[in-house]
Amino acid sequence: MIDKTAKIGRNVRIGEYVVIEKNVVIGDDVVIGHHAVIKEDTIIGNHVIIDDLVSLGHRPSSNKKMARKPLPDLAPLVISNYVKVGSNCVVYRGSTISEGVFIGDLASIREKVKVGKGSIIGRNAMVENNTRIGERVTIQTSAYVTADMLIEDEVFIGPCFSSSNDKYMGEGNYPHQGPVLKKGAKIGNNATFLPGVVVGEKAIVGAGAVVTKNIEANIIAVGNPAKKL
Amino acid sequence: MIDKTAKIGRNVRIGEYVVIEKNVVIGDDVVIGHHAVIKEDTIIGNHVIIDDLVSLGHRPSSNKKMARKPLPDLAPLVISNYVKVGSNCVVYRGSTISEGVFIGDLASIREKVKVGKGSIIGRNAMVENNTRIGERVTIQTSAYVTADMLIEDEVFIGPCFSSSNDKYMGEGNYPHQGPVLKKGAKIGNNATFLPGVVVGEKAIVGAGAVVTKNIEANIIAVGNPAKKL
Amino acid sequence: MIDKTAKIGRNVRIGEYVVIEKNVVIGDDVVIGHHAVIKEDTIIGNHVIIDDLVSLGHRPSSNKKMARKPLPDLAPLVISNYVKVGSNCVVYRGSTISEGVFIGDLASIREKVKVGKGSIIGRNAMVENNTRIGERVTIQTSAYVTADMLIEDEVFIGPCFSSSNDKYMGEGNYPHQGPVLKKGAKIGNNATFLPGVVVGEKAIVGAGAVVTKNIEANIIAVGNPAKKL
């Protein structure tokens, strides 16, 4: 089902049972897998590959208990040239996926996220809203990137990374702040980050570490709680 | 494909390529996304939102090695009024999702689970069978809720929570018991729970803690193994 | 949409909106769920159950930053007799799923993986490429099995297991080596494994342990870092 207001470029291969909603714009030399859903207003560049069973351009929603209310004025989802989106992914309206980004299967990226050029979002990785991811960043499989996080260029995040942004764990209207990972920091697999901690440039955090305080630049920290090695 | 025995209420918006199997009942003012699969006998209330690419009312199955055999007599899946089910979710037959529950994208809930009113099941969270979740509970993104667990009202479970219920790790026919989280307990992100541990009312377990023994009410516990702060 | 070159056996039940691509071979007494995608050349045995919304026979791809380039010569995906594949799974071309394997919902298995007879790949488990999994292995829900890993027969891996294979965390062209889990080893939930560590036969690693060095056969190891109990 392709809405008649959608604009489709040249040399676009569209799979079976695809849904392209109104005002979608798709560039040239794009491949769209079977059962893909491209929701209204989504903008897709050239040489993009979208795999099977994805949902792109999703609008956020909530229930009564949730702190953050949906945003009525979100810009369309923008997927730039040479992006690859894996199977069964869910990417929200209001985000920008820059040139050459790779998104693995079963991953999800919420609204108001920017993913910088050439970065990798691993399979089954979850990226929450309002997070900014730099260029040439690697976020590995099953990592959890919380809301309101800042990840600078060339950061490496190992598999199963876990972050948080709410000190009071749901107590109410306190401000939320995710961790900040400075340029070139490297985080081992299954590390745990408390809200708002800052990891300095080129610091290394070991696998399984629990980061409760800021980590200086250029050091190695390991353990629970994480300490300088 | 809507089976002719399905009963669909007033003002129901049904997406493209939806499958509604026999004896499904859908209330009024419901929205059903593209490629949604609603399996036989599923009961959906009023004002429900079902996103794209979900599978609802799934029957459990197993292979020879698995301890639990499928149950032939499971009741239909019940999804109450004002529930929201995210994209690419899988929810099983034999469970009840109460009024106002929010289920995030890519989550899954198995059979014989009750989720109480107004609770949140985060994106990519996995909830196993026979678990009871109270009212106004928050289970955050990518949390793992094992089988035979009891989660009382107003519990907060951080992202990437990990629980277990099998002391003997697959050795055979021992009884399984998941953790018990009492009313208002709060669990930090990426905490690890051993089988059968009990966390008292309003206790707080720190991020990355490994809970090997019961935690008293109203205390804070952190570390590996978790100790009173 | 069933390609006319596909060979379908006797007594095969095919759901709605299924896509079966060219040269697919399907045996007898097979059930294929709604919206399933079976990609070209995939070989499916007898008595196989494929649930809704899966993508089978996927080809790997990459972006400029990724170390591993796609392999042009991958053999077709082989799914043997009596296998069950859950809803919303993604399984790649170039892998072999042996007789009686159970794959849970929302799981993914990449290319060049062999899963031995009767093993279980839990829901939302992610298995990377080039990994060999023995017979009667259990990999529980949301476990992460990295690339280049060796898992011998009868190993038990708890939920939320996290492994890694890259000591230099993305620094470049160093060889990668995942952990080795010897016959009958048991790993607790949410344990963290560094690259290349070896766990001996029948050793037990506790829940939440961080394994930084080899673990001898028949011992119990717990803590961060993991030490003999």
**How much of chain C, in percent, has pLDDT values that exceed 70?**
97
pTM above 0.95, yes or no: yes
A106 inside 8 A of chain C by CB: yes
Task: Confirm if A57 and A20 have CB atoms less than 8 A apart.
Answer: no
Q: Does some domain include residue A28?
A: yes
Which residue type does C210 have?
A: V
A98 and A161 within one domain: no
Give the minimum alpha-carbon distance from A74 to chain B in angstroms, rounded to a whole number.
Answer: 18
Interface contact flag, B58 C35, Cβ < 8 Å:
no
A163 and A106 within one domain: no
Over chain B (229 residues), the average pLDDT of each successive run of 10 is: 97 98 98 98 98 96 68 90 98 98 98 98 98 98 98 98 92 87 98 97 98 98 96
A213 and A173 within one domain: yes
Residue among A61, A190, A212 minimizing CB distance to B49? A61
- Collapsing DSSP to helix, strand or coil, C2 comes out as strand
A125 and A45 within one domain: yes
Give the minimum alpha-carbon distance from C206 to chain B in angstroms, rounded to a whole number.
Answer: 9
Interface contact flag, B35 C33, Cβ < 8 Å:
no
B159 inside 8 A of chain A by CB: yes
Which pLDDT score is estimated for C70?
58
Task: Confirm if C92 and C58 have CB atoms less than 8 A apart.
Answer: yes
B124 inside 8 A of chain A by CB: yes
B16 inside 8 A of chain A by CB: yes
End-of-domain residue from the set A86, A112, A136? A136
Rounded distance, CA A127 to CA A89, Å?
A: 12
Residues of chain A with pLDDT under 70: 67-72
A110 and A222 within one domain: no
A210 and A180 within one domain: yes
Residue among B61, B163, B210 minimizing CB distance to C84? B61
Q: Does some domain include residue A217?
A: yes
DSSP string, B109-166: E-TT-EE-TT-EE-TT-EE-TT-EE-SS-EE-TT-EE-SS-EE-TT-EE-TT-B----
Over the stretch C94-107, which tens digit does the pLDDT of each residue have? 999 999 999 999 99
Interface contact flag, B65 C208, Cβ < 8 Å:
no
Q: Does some domain include residue A66?
A: no
Rounded distance, CA C207 to CA C222, Å?
A: 7
Interface contact flag, A142 B141, Cβ < 8 Å:
no
Q: Does some domain include residue A85?
A: yes
Which pLDDT score is estimated for C168?
84
Contacts of A34 in chain C (CB under 8 A): 19, 37, 55
Rounded distance, CA A215 to CA A224, Å?
A: 13
Contacts of B53 in chain C (CB under 8 A): 35, 53, 88
Task: Confirm if C220 and C203 have CB atoms less than 8 A apart.
Answer: yes
Is B79 exposed, middle or buried (CB count within 10 Å of its CB: 0-12, 13-18, 19+)?
buried
Task: Confirm if B181 and B199 have CB atoms less than 8 A apart.
Answer: yes
Is C132 exposed, middle or buried (CB count within 10 Å of its CB: 0-12, 13-18, 19+)?
middle
Residue among C66, C144, C169 minimizing CB distance to A102? C66
Q: Regarding beta strands B25-26 and A210-211, do their DSSP bridges make them parallel or antiparallel, or are they unpaired?
A: unpaired
CATH of the domain at A93: 2.160.10.10
Which pLDDT score is estimated for B175?
85
Which pLDDT score is estimated for C207?
97
Give the minimum alpha-carbon distance from A173 to chain C in angstroms, rounded to a whole number.
Answer: 31
Chains in contact with A via at least 3 Cβ–Cβ pairs below 8 Å: B, C
Q: Distances in Å between the alpha carbon of B90 and those of A52, B45, C90, C158?
A: 17, 18, 14, 21
ipTM of predicted assembly, 2 dp: 0.95
DSSP conformation class of A178: -
* Residue A71 CA to its chain's centroid (Å): 18
Contacts of A35 in chain B (CB under 8 A): 17, 35, 53
A51 and A10 within one domain: yes
A109 and A200 within one domain: no
DSSP string, C68-125: SPPPTTPPPPEE-TT-EE-TT-EEETT-EE-TT-EE-TT-EE-TT-EE-TT-EE-TT-
Interface contact flag, C65 A138, Cβ < 8 Å:
yes
* Residue A103 CA to its chain's centroid (Å): 8
A191 and A96 within one domain: no
Which pLDDT score is estimated for B73?
85
Q: Does some domain include residue A204?
A: yes
Contacts of B188 in chain A (CB under 8 A): 164, 169, 192, 194
Q: Which of residues 165 through 224 in chain B touch C, CB cutoff 8 A?
A: 169-170, 190, 192-194, 210, 212, 224
Which pLDDT score is estimated for A70?
58
Q: If you search the block for the tokens 């978790």, which residue do you land on?
A: B226
Rounded distance, CA A76 to CA B113, Å?
A: 37
Q: Does some domain include residue A145?
A: no
A221 and A176 within one domain: yes
Interface contact flag, C188 B170, Cβ < 8 Å:
no
Task: Confirm if C197 and C167 have CB atoms less than 8 A apart.
Answer: no
B4 inside 8 A of chain C by CB: no
Interface contact flag, B65 C119, Cβ < 8 Å:
yes
Q: Does some domain include residue A110?
A: yes
Task: Confirm if A177 and A163 have CB atoms less than 8 A apart.
Answer: no
DSSP string, A119-172: -EE-TT-EE-TT-EE-SS-EE-TT-EE-SS-EE-TT-EE-TT-B----TTTT-S
Closest listed residue to residue A90, CA positions, set B85, B119, C146, B127: B85
**How much of chain C, in percent, has pLDDT values that exceed 90?**
89
pLDDT band at C223 (very low <50, low <70, confident <90, very high): very high
DSSP conformation class of B2: B
Give the minimum alpha-carbon distance from C109 to chain A in angstroms, rounded to a whole number.
Answer: 10
Give me the domain span that covers residue A104: 1-60+73-136
Identify any residues that bridge with C127 across adjacent strands, giving them in sequence order: C109, C145
Which pLDDT score is estimated for A71?
64
Which pLDDT score is estimated for C71?
63
A184 and A114 within one domain: no
Number of compact structural domains in chain A: 2
Task: Confirm if B20 and B35 have CB atoms less than 8 A apart.
Answer: no
Give the minimum alpha-carbon distance from C82 to chain A in angstroms, rounded to a whole number.
Answer: 25
Looking from the CA of C108 toward its CB, the CA atoms found within 13 Å total 30
Interface contact flag, A105 C90, Cβ < 8 Å:
yes
Longest dimension (CA), chain A: 61
User: What is the token pair recorded at A21?
Assistant: 């909603």
Over the stretch C47-84, which tens digit does the pLDDT of each residue have? 999 999 999 999 998 777 775 565 668 999 999 999 99
Residue among A100, A156, A160 minimizing CB distance to C63? A100
Contacts of B33 in chain A (CB under 8 A): 37, 55
Which pLDDT score is estimated for B69?
61
Contacts of C63 in chain A (CB under 8 A): 82, 84, 100-102, 118, 120
Which pLDDT score is estimated for B164?
96
Over the stretch A17-65, which tens digit does the pLDDT of each residue have? 999 999 999 999 999 999 999 999 999 999 999 999 999 999 998 777 7
Task: Confirm if B197 and B218 have CB atoms less than 8 A apart.
Answer: no
**Torsion sign over Cα A157, A158, A159, A163:** negative
Give the minimum alpha-carbon distance from A189 to chain B in angstroms, rounded to a whole number.
Answer: 12
A131 and A32 within one domain: yes
User: What is the token pair recorded at A117?
Assistant: 């050029």
Rounded to the nearest integer, the mean pLDDT of chain C is 95
Q: Does some domain include residue A113?
A: yes
Residue among C53, C169, C224 minimizing CB distance to A53? C53
Q: If you search the block for the tokens 């799934």, which residue do you land on?
A: B58
